Amino acid sequence: MTTEPDARGRRDRRAWWSSRFLALIEGMSLPESLRAGRALMRTEAVLSVRRSGNLVVAMVRDRGDELYKPRLAVRTFGDADWGRLEDALAAEARYAAALLAGSMPADLEDVFAAHELSLFPRRADDLAMDCTCTDWQRPCAHLVAACHQLADTIDLDPFALLALRGRERDALLAEIRRRRPRSTSHTEETGRRSCSWPAGSAGGTAEPLPTAPSAFWTSPVPAVRSSPVSASQSSRSLAGRRSSAPDQHAPAVRPDILLQLCGPLVVEPFGDLRDELRPAYRIFATPGAGPACSVEPGM
């Protein structure tokens, strides 16, 4: 039979988080139920798997076209426990970045362990399983097959695993954003203010653009009315720049400093994406390196 090698190859292609979940379920199964459940999965006997919160309900067709409904529930964490976890996740933006990229951070289990919690169920009271079949063993073959299908879902969406523990994707990301350090939002607001050019400032006031759409491309370039003080100051600044030599002692700014600050962006199986992004950042920081854009006449 080729059931065992096929199942092993399927596990080898999974991400580590879905493999861990499936290993937990299979480790609780008797050999006969395990073999029968893998065979059901291989023959596509699992008709549907639906998750609602921490409850998973499946429909499995067994021999003789009989339908069975296996169910699985995972113990969730309370609001106080999730509040501590969200504080820890908000402290480093790379956790949310990795999850949004469809990957589970390799050290996410350490975050849970630091608060005496476990990302994966590990005790008998962490799981509740039943099925409409007459088999006394839990997990039965139908539960094993359903959990294989559930592992496929978790493999593609790591948020599904966190939802089984009590936090849906949107709620978790909203809390992470809300709990981000205030200094981050203050720095972003300061940067936006420094880039603005209020009316009546020393930079001058621009004439309004024409209101008629047909006159937009034919009107002359709006002139900027500058005050005498600002004009003289601009002349002196321009002369000073022409006469002064560039500062040879100015520190070089790394074009990939943002990548360095955000921390590792690990996406399985590709590894740290920062190594792939650094050449692009260097190209962006090189004057004239990008492709030139032109507007054809009549466009």
Residue 200 confidence (pLDDT) above 70: no
> Is 45 part of a structural domain of the chain?
yes
- pLDDT > 70: percent of the chain: 61
According to DSSP, residue 131 is labeled -
- pLDDT > 90: percent of the chain: 38
pLDDT for res 100: 77
How far is the C-alpha of 92 from the C-alpha of 184, rounded, in Å? 11
> Is 79 part of a structural domain of the chain?
yes
Under the banding of pLDDT at 50, 70 and 90, the label for residue 256 is low
Mean pLDDT computed over 253-259: 65
Higher-pLDDT residue of 293 and 261 is: 261
Contact 158, 67 (CB under 8 A): no
How far is the C-alpha of 31 from the C-alpha of 87, rounded, in Å? 42
Among 94-108, 153-167, 197-211, which is the least confidently predicted range? 197-211
pLDDT for res 128: 94
Among 7-16, 146-155, 199-208, which is the least confidently predicted range? 199-208
Q: Which amino acid is at 131?
A: C
Residue 198 confidence (pLDDT) above 60: no
> Is 215 part of a structural domain of the chain?
no
Mean pLDDT computed over 126-136: 93
* Measured distance between the N- and C-terminal CA atoms of the chain, rounded to whole angstroms: 67
298 CB-near residues (< 8 Å, 6+ apart):
none
130 CB-near residues (< 8 Å, 6+ apart):
70, 71, 138
pTM above 0.85, yes or no: no
Tell me which residue range forms the domain holding 74: 17-178
Instruction: Select from 184, 206, 209, 187 the least CA-distant residue to 197.
Output: 206
Higher-pLDDT residue of 56 and 280 is: 56
pLDDT for res 207: 57
Instruction: Select from 98, 89, 129, 74 the least CA-distant residue to 15.
Output: 98
CA–chain centroid gap for 54, Å, is 21
Residue 289 confidence (pLDDT) above 70: no
pLDDT for res 279: 81
47 CB-near residues (< 8 Å, 6+ apart):
58, 59, 60, 61, 67
> Is 76 part of a structural domain of the chain?
yes
pLDDT for res 137: 86
Residue 30 confidence (pLDDT) above 80: yes
> Is 38 part of a structural domain of the chain?
yes
- Which stretches of the chain are DSSP H helices? 3-12, 16-27, 31-42, 79-90, 93-100, 108-114, 141-156, 159-164, 169-178, 182-194, 228-243, 257-262, 274-285
pLDDT for res 166: 95
pLDDT for res 68: 96
> Is 44 part of a structural domain of the chain?
yes
- For residue 58, what are the β-bridge partners? 49
> Is 88 part of a structural domain of the chain?
yes
pLDDT for res 229: 47
The domain total for the chain is 1
Under the banding of pLDDT at 50, 70 and 90, the label for residue 185 is very low
> Is 267 part of a structural domain of the chain?
no
